[in-house]
Structure 1
Amino acid sequence: MVAHQPSDDIKDHGTFSNRKGGRVRCNYCQKEMQGLRRLKFHLGGVKGDGTTCLKVPANVRELYQNEKFERKKHKYYDLKRDMLLLDPLKELPQKRNCSQRSYNFKGTRPESDSLIGISTANLTSFQEIMYSTTGDRRSEYKSYQEVKGSVPQAEVTELQDYVKRTKQSWSSTGCSILLDTWRNGQGQDFVIFLVDCSEGPIYLQSSNVSSFSLDSDAIQSMLNKVIEEVGAQNVVQIIACSTAGWLGTMEKQFMEKCKTGFWTVSASHCVELMLEKMALMDSVQPVLEKAASLTKFMWKQKDSFPLLDIKDPFSEGKSAAIPFMTLENIVAEEEKLITASEWKASVWASTEGKMVYKLFRLRSFWSEARMVLKASVPLVRLLALIHRADKPLMGYIYETMDRVKEAIKMEFEGKTSEYMPFWKVIDEIWDKHLHSPLHAAGYYLNPNLFYSSNFHLDTEVAFGLLCCIVRLVRDENMQDQISQQLDEYLQARGDFEEGSSIRCRDKPPLEWWSKYGTECPELQRFAIYILSQTCDGPSRYGLNKEMARKLLTSEMNCVDQQEQAQLRELTFYHYNLQLLYSKKHRGEGNSCYEDLGGE
């Protein structure tokens, strides 16, 4: 009797548990993992890429064991992150339509204009990049004629209209240039330039800065060219994704040599820095270490505790919030952990098990854990708020940081000796990296806060507002007009009188200024410029940097000008499709303003 031949389609051996996030579940052992390529290694028993499936049929295992040999042979299998097969948008569902697009480089649709250059698919560099990015060993890439039919013209037109509309909005709302930098394993430095505004983000360009990353003048020259391309009059700020490398040395020079705009650091990155420093405190670090040991042990013994929601502590994740979120989950499950009937003597047979059991019985651990959460939970909640924000937070970040500190103080019942060490950590990052005059001006120009009884005008706020007027408005006559109109805003005269009511000032700041600021057009334009800006960096868009690196590397090795242009075109469309989808997806939930308010 002939044995049943297993399917060689990897999708027949796994089920997407979260298609947007790329999570897939093994059909045999039900373990979840990130991406189909990792499922192959799981089935084939490839070491170094997660656990091996113990329930997979032998003929299926044999089918995918060859993956480990291909993985070793191919030099591009050093990707740190998986992508959905042949889907550079990574998060998109397979259904193809204008609202839920799936950009597949294997052409199947006839008679439609190509998204990329007509001969890009024939380029050796293009085939190398796409082959290494998808990791699909058995697939053959189509010719350019077939690729030409892979993307509907409606999607191309929609993307082009989006980019054109977004660029046109810069003159009325201003924009922020986001710097997404990283260094690969070979020590090469790269940067992706995005431009963000209230209309949405677009990808502008990317550069390999390895040869001049230590030359601040060369970096400044590069930034000047980008600013010139966007329009110096449109650029309100440059947002650095971190404070590491050349980003950490450019702020002073940029502010001195550029007479317009500001250099700021991503708000989410700064909150992560606060959590990182908090995790190193003497009163916090031992608690997080104990929680990590507990979680790892529980994960190893997860079959003994089916009632508990145990997260995989070995999964990828670099956020500084993860240890605190893990601790919060443990404390939430305290009663289950102590009283659950799943505790069995066999679990504690090992030395590690006995140590964990002893930890459970210590009241001091639980009291220390709650102490850590009093200080960290407000910051973790702020980080989540920033990441899911669907509207600009420039008008709120200044007040929100104060509320975070007050929340921590309240958790410690106002005991200075207990909350002040955590305040010092927050203030250090705020003063050194996060705070910008833009934040103070946004606070002042946010009517929801300005007309509330809690508004506080101090020297920092007044100086920030003045600094923004001087740097962003070059015409002195217009500066004077804005100053005069600020008095109308302060005294709530004219349309501002109606707008200052509780009912009216609850509108989103941009909507409020569009409606009630018409009598003071110079101030209205200035306020919209400020309040339209994001506080966060490019990390919220989750761009696949590996794709840009391979494109840039190929571009460096390519002498043909036409091929270089086609590679740049490919990059431009690839990232802007992802950003367009991200914009649509981000706007589906409830507004982040529901968590913020003046009273």
Structure 2
Amino acid sequence: MDNPATDTPPLLKRNSNDVGWEYGLLCDPQVPDKVRCRLCGKEFSGGVYIMKEHIGHLKGNVSACPRSSKEIKRSKRKHEEAIRGEVNIKKNSNVEELEKKLGTLKAPHFQGPLDQFATVINPEASLASQTRQQNIHDAISKEKTHIYQLKEPLLNEEKQRTKEKLKALEEEWDREGCSVMTDSWTDMKRRSIMNLCVNSRGGTCFLLSKDASKDSYTDEYIFNYTDKEEAKSLTGCAAHSMDLMLEGISKLPGFANVIEQAKVVTIFVYAHHTTLSMMRTYTKKKDIVRLGATSVMVILKVFTPMVKVLRLADGEKIPSLGFVYGGLLEAKKSIKEATGHLEKNYQPIFRIIDEKMKRRLDSPLHMAAYFFSPYNFYKDPTIQYDIEILEGFIKCVKTFYHGEFEKQDLVVNHEISLYKNKSGPFGRMLALKECEKNDEKFDPDHIPVGHSEFNNPQVRT
């Protein structure tokens, strides 16, 4: 008896010589991908390729035909292997020639930044090296921190750790005093932000920031905002004040013309290779032309002492408070000599310096710091007779020891005489030798002067 599945009309057989159609039929002429097995009558999609896997019992894509004999399965597998053996994928001849000349065309494998550390642990290495390499592997394979951990627990832990570090600084602020520094800047939203930082022996740390867009950033506003302690002195930024002085001097008629001419010459020389090479030929490859006794030399002699004070004020190696006022006085002397002691030449410069110093670098704190600088005081003892300097010293003592009249009397009327007369610890040879120094390594706070009430204002200053 014939299988009813093989009675399908021949019209539904695909017009193809593929051996798979010996046991398969089309279910619908409009759907060539839908086929039916002649042996078991099962219908499935995938065309003749799936039909051959179905008949040959090839696993992976379709179930095996239950009515397929061993001879049929063997013939289908041999046919499949023969077809695959005929397929030979060869490289393009052009590619082979390029590889012979240039090497392999495969994309090279580049090591990432961590690959150099992910090496195999050498069993013959020392125990310390093995432990170190294992720690590196553990760190590389460690799971990334979740965003929640960064926003909540880890952030709170870091905040608490920062507060613990600030406790030691806050104790030092109460014990020895500190400096509150302010700075104003404008963000992308055009808001004026005022930052407050605190500086002391322990270093500088950020305190807070405030939106000051509605207020004028003046010294009075800053003083009123930070006026929480009675013992306080307000001073301007020394480096900024020096910048204003140099800017004002550069605008004087005798200076502005020469500076503008120097700019024009410099731009012309450095803008052309020929002129630049010619200049370096005659100057032996130096970028500064030899100067004569011209107005350029006078300008350099005027600016040089001012720039020295600027570098002193803007430096971080030594406390500059005790040297800025004295440095400006020395700069004035140098400028006076550079201008030939002619009042008409140096007086306009002095007016600019005095104008920018006013309420910035001539405060009672600067006067007291200049008075307490052993380098300046012992070099010129007449400082003690300057009324302005003495007034600044007394005002600072009243500020530091506000309401403590006994301490004020002890410092002003008794202990100050030890400093003036080089008595007691001030008369030691080590202290006197240190007072002769004024270099980058000099720190007046390291001068051994013993312990007294007189030390406190000096440390606070």
Asked if the contact 1:499–1:516 (Cα under 8 Å) also holds between the matched residues in 2, the reply is no
| Cα distance change, pair 439–6 in 1 and its aligned pair in 2 (3 A) | farther
Percentage of matched positions with identical amino acids: 21
Secondary structure at 1:193's aligned position in 2?
A: strand
Matches within 5 A, 1:6-17: none
1:411 equivalent to 2:414? Answer no
Code of the aligned partner of 2:454: L
- 1:367-446 alignment, distance < 5 Å: 367-446=294-373
Which among 459, 462, 466 is matched to residue 387 of structure 2? Answer: 459
**Does residue 180 of the first structure (1) align with residue 107 of the second (2)?**
no
Q: Which runs of 5+ in 1 are unaligned?
A: 12-107, 124-143, 215-244, 310-330, 337-362, 531-599
The structure 2 residue matched to 1:482, chosen from 400, 405, 411, is 411
Q: Which amino acid aligns with 1:476?
A: F
Partners of 1:172 and 1:529 within 8 A in 2: no
Question: 2: CA distance between counterparts of 1:332 and 1:305?
Answer: 9
Question: 2: CA distance between counterparts of 1:464 and 1:523?
Answer: 16
- 2:432 maps to what in 1? 502
- Give 1:522's aligned residue: 453
Mean CA deviation greater in 377-386 or 435-444: 377-386
1:201 & 1:446 partners in 2: Cα distance?
23
Q: Secondary structure at the match of 2:383?
A: coil
**Which residue is equivalent to 1:225?**
none
For the Cα contact (< 8 Å) 1:375–1:422, is it kept in 2? no
Deviations 1:225-283 (A, max 9, x none): xxxxxxxxxxxxxxxxxxxx513553675799964311111000000000111121111
Aligned ranges 1:574-593 → 2 under 5 Å: none
**Secondary structure of 1:391 counterpart:** coil
Quote the offset at 1:491 in angstroms: 3.0
Work out the CA distance in 1 between the residues paired with 2:250 and 2:110: 46
Query: Following the alignment from structure 1 to structure 2, what is the Cα–Cα distance between the partners of residues 489 and 501?
Result: 11
Q: Kindly tell me: are residues 170 and 258 of structure 1, through their superposed partners in 2, closer, same or farther at Cα, counting changes over 3 Å?
A: closer
How many residues were matched structurally? 319
Alignment of 1:169-568 (within 5 A): 169-184=172-187, 186-210=189-213, 213-214=214-215, 245-250=216-221, 259-302=230-273, 305-306=276-277, 333-335=288-290, 367-453=294-380, 455-457=382-384, 458-474=386-402, 475-483=404-412, 484-498=414-428, 502-506=432-436, 508-512=443-447, 515-518=448-451, 521-530=452-461
Q: Distance in 2 between matches of 1:182 and 1:207?
A: 11
* Inter-partner Cα distance in structure 2 for 1:486 and 1:112: 65
Cα deviation digits, residues 50-76 of structure 1 (max 9, x gap) = xxxxxxxxxxxxxxxxxxxxxxxxxxx
SS of residue paired to 2:317: coil
Letter in structure 2 aligned against 1:471: T
Task: Call closer, same or farther: CA 1:465–1:202 in 2, change over 3 Å.
Answer: same
Structure 2 CA distance, aligned partners of 1:460 and 1:185?
45
Alpha-carbon distance change, 192 to 111 in structure 1, aligned in 2, over 3 angstroms: farther
Q: Distance in 2 between matches of 1:452 and 1:280?
A: 35
**In the superposition, relative to structure 1, how do residues 421 and 120 fare at CA in structure 2: closer, same or farther (>3 Å)?**
farther
2:312, 2:324 within 8 Å by CA — same for their partners in 1? no
Equivalent residue, structure 2, for 1:584: none
- Tell me the amino acid that sits aligned with residue 211 of structure 2: N
Whether contact under 8 Å (2:322, 2:369) holds in the other structure is yes
Counterparts of 2:375 and 2:242, CA distance in 1: 24
What CA deviation, in whole Å up to 9, does each residue of 1:522-542 have, x standing for no partner?
111121111xxxxxxxxxxxx
User: How far did 1:307 drift?
Assistant: 7.6
Question: TM-score of the superposition, structure 1-length normalised?
Answer: 0.46
- Alpha-carbon shift at residue 306 of structure 1 (Å): 4.9
Separation in structure 1 between the aligned mates of residue 260 and residue 106 of structure 2, nearest angstrom: 50
Deviation of 1:303 after TM superposition, in Å, equals 7.1
Q: What is the CA deviation profile of residues 58-113 of structure 1, one whole-angstrom value per residue up to 9, with x for unaligned ones?
A: xxxxxxxxxxxxxxxxxxxxxxxxxxxxxxxxxxxxxxxxxxxxxxxxxx877799
For the Cα contact (< 8 Å) 1:447–1:500, is it kept in 2? no
Shift of the 4–197 alpha-carbon distance from structure 1 to 2, 3 Å rule, reads farther
Which residue identity is paired with 2:444?
P
Secondary structure of 1:264 counterpart: coil
Are 2:309 and 2:324, in contact at CA under 8 Å, matched by a contact in 1? no
- Does the CA contact (< 8 Å) of 1:265 and 1:433 recur in 2? yes
Q: Secondary structure at the match of 2:235?
A: strand
Letter in 2 for 1:403: E
How far apart in 2 are the matches of 1:335 and 1:493? 51
Change (3 A) 1:488 1:284: same
SS of the aligned residue for 1:333 comes to coil
Secondary structure at 1:290 match in 2 = helix
Q: Corresponding residue for 1:346?
A: none
CA distance in 2 between counterparts of 1:462 and 1:112 reads 66
The answer (yes or no) to whether the contact 1:255–1:263 under 8 Å persists in 2 is no
Distance 1:5 1:287 in 2: 62
Structure 1 residue 182 displacement after superposition: 1.3
Q: Is the 8 A contact 2:415 2:454 kept in 1?
A: yes
Residue 50 of structure 1 corresponds to which residue in structure 2? Answer: none
Matches within 5 A, 1:105-144: 119=148
Distance 2:415 2:338 in 1: 41
| SS of alignment partner, residue 435 of structure 1 | coil
Task: Please tell me whether the aligned partners of residues 270 and 433 of structure 1 are also in contact (alpha carbons under 8 angstroms).
Answer: yes
Q: Give SS of 1:177's match.
A: strand
Which AA in structure 2 matches 1:428?
A: E
Which letter does structure 2 place at the counterpart of 1:333?
I
- Give the drift of 1:469: 1.0
Deviation at 1:295, TM superposition (A): 2.7
Secondary structure of 1:450 counterpart: helix
TM-score relative to the length of structure 2: 0.59
The one-letter amino acid of 2:395's match is C
Deviation, structure 1 residue 333: 2.0
Closer/same/farther in 2, CA of residues 169 and 256 from structure 1, 3 Å limit: closer
Measure how far apart 1:168 and its partner are: 3.2
Higher CA-based Rg: 2
Measure how far apart 1:6 and its partner are. 13
Give CA-to-partner distance per residue, 1:471-506, whole Å, 9 cap, x none: 121222222222222233223332233269632534
Determine if contact 1:254/1:263 at 8 Å carries over to the other structure. Answer: no
Structure 1 residues 7 and 448, CA gap change in structure 2 (3 angstroms): farther
Question: Is contact 1:194-1:205 (8 Å) kept?
Answer: yes
Contact 2:245-2:352 at 8 Å conserved across structures: yes
- Opposite residue 206 of structure 1, the aligned amino acid is S
Provide the rounded CA distance (Å) in 1 between the counterparts of 2:296 and 2:326. Answer: 28
Q: Is 1:274–1:426's contact at 8 Å kept on the other side of the alignment? A: yes
SS in structure 2 of the partner of residue 334 of structure 1:
coil
Give secondary structure in 1 for the equivalent of 2:172: helix
Preserved CA contact (<8 Å) 2:184 2:194: yes
Q: Residues of 1 paired with 2:143 and 2:417: CA distance?
A: 58
In structure 1, how many angstroms separate the alpha carbons of the residues matched to 2:287 and 2:444?
37
